[in-house]
Amino acid sequence: MKPIRVGLLGIGTVGGGTLRVLTRNQEEIMRRAGRGIVITTVADQDTARATAAAGAGVRITGDAFSVVADPDIDIVIELIGGYTVAKDLVLAAIENGKHVVTANKALLANHGNAIFAAASRKGVMVAFEGAVAGGIPIIKALREGLTANRIEWIAGIINGTSNYILSEMRERGLAFDTVLAEAQRLGYAESDPTFDIDGIDAAHKLSIMSAIAFGIPMQFDKAYIEGIRALTREDIRYAEELGYRIKLLGITRRTDRGIELRVHPTLIPKRRLIANVEGVMNAVLVKGDAVGATLYYGAGAGAEPTASAVVADLVDVTRMLTADPENRVPHLAFQPDQLADTPVLAMEEVETSYYLRMAVADRPGVLADITRILADEAISIDAMVQKEPPEGADQTDIILLTHLTMERRVNIAIARIEALPTVFGKVTRIRQEDLS
């Protein structure tokens, strides 16, 4: 049987890793796929780099559109990133009847609905395991392994850069800016780290997982996104003293009123396995009604971890090439005509617990004023710590942990607390999840 012919768009870090893994494990992959899989063409603007990486026997071009139009190509791998040219290339490949493998989470989060609809019309597959959590096979787990379950919630550490920064801040007591600069020097953070530290990258990935878990369209534009720029080493230290770790979590949960879709720093009890995921590693915790909680852990980025997922997608597509389109695994796990219109909740409608830290005057009655405001909003206190003020100081920190409550109630309470003359500056709010 003749091999599957693949066109690779982009031979940067992940593209180069994909070529290496496919070449190195060619015999094993052929045994699993049932036929050979060969990258015959590589498109990259840097043709000299592509020539050096691809070696003999591979056609090199600077024109990616010529690859998606090539009748000799069966599968297109899109690894150029972004969601402008990448979108045009993927849609052109689909229109030309080619299957697509991509690791582009931004593209899918923003344009996945249109891409999947186009693929369904043309009877081709779009595979995207590498788009979420690198080498961790979380898409396959959600779409196939847990298909018997009604997924209740997902909570994930799905951005290695942010997790590295928070781990270093906690372990070494360093400030955010110091660790960010170090992460950039080590190559863990981009020169412009906005997508990572502001939670956008995690929200892209969460939007994809939420759609698959709950059978809803991609709705990245409705995600609540809050990054880690404002976190201080003091809050990380206080959380540790209270028995918690702070992680940037992507959380999506099914409720009676709708779907929660949110990314933000979160206090997690130290005893939870996911709280102990450190450095650049990723982990995703999935709660199903039948299986209970399952944890998926591994490298969330990097050349060969992501290439592992890309090549696995190539094998999946190869196995399913002869299958009737109606018998393939649906892109978003549920049949396209069975997607639900369940609303995504506004953040104000989300229920969770909270860590609140405020700098207050060191005088009688201050705590009573604060607790009265919380009581007015039906916010119950779980724990309270008042730090001893430094010698000679006239202000101190109060830290409160609340029970479960509605975000809009907390918004009102914080506004009233900040208006008190005995409270200085802004109240620090970090959401808290037990994940039990």
- Report whether pLDDT(348) > 80: yes
Distance CA 132, CA 159 (A): 10
Residue 323 or residue 167, greater confidence: 167
Distance CA 340, CA 350 (A): 20
Respond yes or no: is residue 205 known to be catalytic.
yes
How much is the pLDDT for 12? 93
Residue 296 or residue 331, greater confidence: 296
- Report whether pLDDT(125) > 90: yes
Residue 321 or residue 41, greater confidence: 41
How much is the pLDDT for 359? 95
What tokens were used for 59? 């056609």
How much is the pLDDT for 388? 83
Q: DSSP alpha helices (H): ranges in 321-358? A: none
C-alpha distance across the termini of the chain, in Å:
50
What tokens were used for 376? 């007015």
Residues across the chain: 436
**Burial status of residue 34 (CB atoms within 10 A of its CB: 0-12, 13-18, 19 or more):** exposed
Give every CB contact of residue 145 below 8 A, 6+ residues apart in sequence. Answer: none
Q: Reduced to 3 states, what is the DSSP secondary structure of residue 432?
A: strand
In this structure, which amino acid lies at residue 177? D
Is residue 310 within 8 Å of residue 101, measured between CB atoms?
A: yes
Average pLDDT over residues 2-11: 96
Least-confidence region, from 88-102, 244-258, 272-286, 309-323? 309-323
Average pLDDT over residues 109-130: 97
What tokens were used for 288? 């199903």
Q: Reduced to 3 states, what is the DSSP secondary structure of residue 297?
A: strand
How much is the pLDDT for 237? 95
Q: DSSP alpha helices (H): ranges in 152-216? A: 160-172, 176-186, 194-197, 200-214
Least-confidence region, from 191-200, 330-339, 345-354? 330-339
Beta strand 395-402 with 351-361: parallel, antiparallel or unpaired?
A: antiparallel
- Report whether pLDDT(231) > 80: yes
Q: Of 73, 72, 89, 94, whose CA–CA distance to 10 is shortest?
A: 89
Place of tokens 């709010």: 429
Average pLDDT over residues 281-310: 96
**Burial status of residue 39 (CB atoms within 10 A of its CB: 0-12, 13-18, 19 or more):** buried
Q: SS3 helix, strand, coil % of the chain, rounded to 5?
A: 40, 25, 35
DSSP annotation of 173: -
For residue 297, the number of C-alpha atoms closer than 13 Å in the C-beta half-sphere is 10
- Report whether pLDDT(322) > 90: no
- Report whether pLDDT(325) > 90: no
Q: Do 138-299 and 351-432 show the same overall fold?
A: no
How much is the pLDDT for 393? 80
- Report whether pLDDT(307) > 80: yes
How much is the pLDDT for 332? 87
Q: Of 302, 299, 297, whose CA–CA distance to 283 is shortest?
A: 297
Q: Of 415, 428, 423, whose CA–CA distance to 361 is shortest?
A: 423
Is residue 220 within 8 Å of residue 259, measured between CB atoms?
A: no
Q: Which CATH architecture has domain 351-432?
A: 2-Layer Sandwich (3.30)
Give 283's strand partners.
157, 297
Residue 46 phi, psi dihedral angles, 5° rounding = -90, 85
How much is the pLDDT for 379? 98
Q: Which CATH architecture has domain 138-299?
A: 2-Layer Sandwich (3.30)
Average pLDDT over residues 302-311: 95
Q: Reduced to 3 states, what is the DSSP secondary structure of residue 414?
A: helix
State if pTM tops 0.85.
Answer: yes
Dihedral sign for Cα 18, 140, 151, 239, please. Answer: negative
How much is the pLDDT for 56? 85
CATH superfamily of this structure's domain 4-135+303-338: NAD(P)-binding Rossmann-like Domain (3.40.50.720)
- Report whether pLDDT(391) > 90: no
Distance CA 403, CA 11 (A): 50
Catalytic residue among 87, 98, 105, 205: 205
Residue 337 or residue 351, greater confidence: 351
Distance CA 378, CA 149 (A): 35
Q: Domain residues of the chain, as ranges?
A: 4-135+303-338, 138-299, 351-432
Average pLDDT over residues 293-317: 95
Place of tokens 């029970």: 403
Task: Give 8's pLDDT tier (boundaries 50, 70, 90).
Answer: very high
Distance CA 228, CA 176 (A): 9
